[in-house]
Amino acid sequence: MMQIEFLYQGKSDSIILRFQTEQDMFLWWWSIQVAARVQIEPQLLHKCMSRSTLSPFQIKEGTHQVDNVLFPKCNHSVFDPLQKKLQVPRGVTHLIFIRHGETENINFRVCDRDKRLTKRGEEQAKITAKYLNKMLRTRGNGKPIITLIYGGLRRTVETATIFANMMPWIGNKYECCFLEDGAPKNVGVYHRYEYRESMHKMAFQNICRWDGEDNLVRGPKGEPENFKIVIAHTSFIQYCMAQCYDVPKGIIQLGAPISHCSITQIDLRASDKIVGLFSNRVTHMPLTHQTSE
């Protein structure tokens, strides 16, 4: 159950909502947080609110389109008069996931939120940032469109700061609260997993999507492209890999470890096709800096 206190037309009120699963409840909680801070398309919202309840069979069979009100997809399809059908634009968003650098762990006596990078962790971030800087600056015909996204915990912020200093030409940088790891203390032990899974779902919807920008630079293959460098934790990177390969996250956790400052790349097409290129790449770092614990 969730009790919501709100202000509507100058009057205070409250309502108690009941959910079938804990994950549904946490998804609603995150949705409310987002809705309070972002601009929502009113026509799309009213359209969804006026719709009758969906049948599970409609969702399973894919006969009914479920719109995403919080993170609507950009659709710039154009009509081709020769083939008499809509053509999906060409383009790709390169998602580059970086796990934060090595952190201090003094017999678990340091609060998880306050863990900072070790000296080697800082060096890992510098080596990876230098490698990406060289790789991205030599692509295409011009400066690539890059966005740096990072979580709010200290170790991810410190890693992102090093990347921003090593790659000052990146213009778009922002912190995403969905990339935090763990759960607040007031969330019970038995609810923490569902809380984190719902947070990962929201982060995936927000970050891992085609943005449909018009000013994209053409890459080596001649198609428009942009990049998102996502500095996050192991759990979210593995969640995105599970979505990409359509396998349970538990399988990914067993067979796909994520090292500190390793590189994982997933390409997202304008048609929503997801292609995994590689994961946990650490060949750019010396053996002394390849750590995972």
Residue pair 290/259 in contact by the 8 Å Cβ criterion: yes
Residue pair 78/53 in contact by the 8 Å Cβ criterion: no
The reported pTM is: 0.75
In whole angstroms, what is the distance from residue 14 CA to residue 17 CA?
Answer: 10
Q: What would the DSSP string read from start to end of 69-134?
A: SSSPPP---EEETTTTEEEPPP-EEEEEEEEPPPB--STT-S-GGG--B-HHHHHHHHHHHHHHHH
In whole angstroms, what is the distance from residue 204 CA to residue 237 CA?
Answer: 10
* pLDDT tens per residue, range 76-101: 555 566 666 666 667 888 999 999 99
CA distances from 289 to 101, 105, 107, 279, 283 (A): 10, 17, 21, 17, 10
Q: What does the pLDDT read at residue 57?
A: 44
Structural domain boundaries in the chain:
2-80, 92-289
What is the distance, to the nearest Å, from the Cα of residue 216 to the centroid of all Cα atoms in its chain? Answer: 20
Half-sphere exposure of 144 (CA within 13 A, CB side): 26
Q: What does the pLDDT read at residue 210?
A: 77
Dihedral over alpha carbons 26, 56, 206, 222 (to 10 degrees) = 160
Residue pair 130/209 in contact by the 8 Å Cβ criterion: no
* pLDDT tens per residue, range 228-287: 999 999 999 999 999 898 888 888 888 888 999 999 999 988 777 889 999 999 999 999
- With left for phi above 0 and alpha for psi between -120 and 50, is residue 179 left, alpha or beta? alpha
CATH classification for the domain delimited by 92-289, as one of 3.40.50.1240, 3.40.50.300, 3.40.228.10, 3.40.50.11930: 3.40.50.1240
Flag residues of the chain having pLDDT under 50. 53-70, 72
**Element (DSSP H or E) covering residue 204:** helix 192-207
